[in-house]
Amino acid sequence: MRSGALRCHGAADDRALRAELVEGRHETAVVRVAGEIDLRSARTLRDHMSGVLQAGFTSIVIDFRGVTFCDASGLNALVALANRTAAHGGGVWLYGVRPAQRRLFEITGLHRRVPIADGVEDALTLAASGGGHHPGQSPENPYP
């Protein structure tokens, strides 16, 4: 699948969620996400990621640099995505996470289920090796 073939846009304002497939390597998609992930836009994110998985990818690396806000709905969407990819032998990795967002991932323990890498190449390396996930994790027990 070529880059940019899957795109989604939320409402027409500067905070609206935007997501775009920017690269595909083997079974791993790199998706750039920008805007706010909240109750209003979490469904849009889920729908877009479903399209990425339906295109044949089993793992997803998410470029989080453009995400300006992420609430509990966004975290829930990421957990659901991690569970869905894990059920097919894949996973989800993030990079470009802002310090305040990183803290939220650490407080909630989500960083154990959705590892945060330093950059796209690090995330792709982790995805290729299945690395970054902690032992004992499964879709049934994401927070051992």
One-character DSSP codes across 91-142: -EEEES--HHHHHHHHHHTHHHHS-EESSHHHHHHHHHHTTTPPTT--SS-S
Is 120 inside any structural domain? yes
Check which CATH number belongs to the domain holding 124 and give it: 3.30.750.24
Confidence at 13, pLDDT banded by 50, 70, 90: low
Give the per-residue pLDDT at 2: 43
Give the per-residue pLDDT at 106: 95
pTM of the model: 0.82
Q: CB–CB of 1/28 below 8 Å?
A: no
Whole-number Å distance between alpha carbons of 35 and 21: 15
| pLDDT tens sequence across 89-128 | 999 999 999 999 999 999 999 999 999 999 999 999 999 9
Whole-number Å distance between alpha carbons of 29 and 91: 11
| pLDDT tens sequence across 19-29 | 999 999 889 99
Is 119 inside any structural domain? yes
Which domain does 39 fall in, by range? 7-129
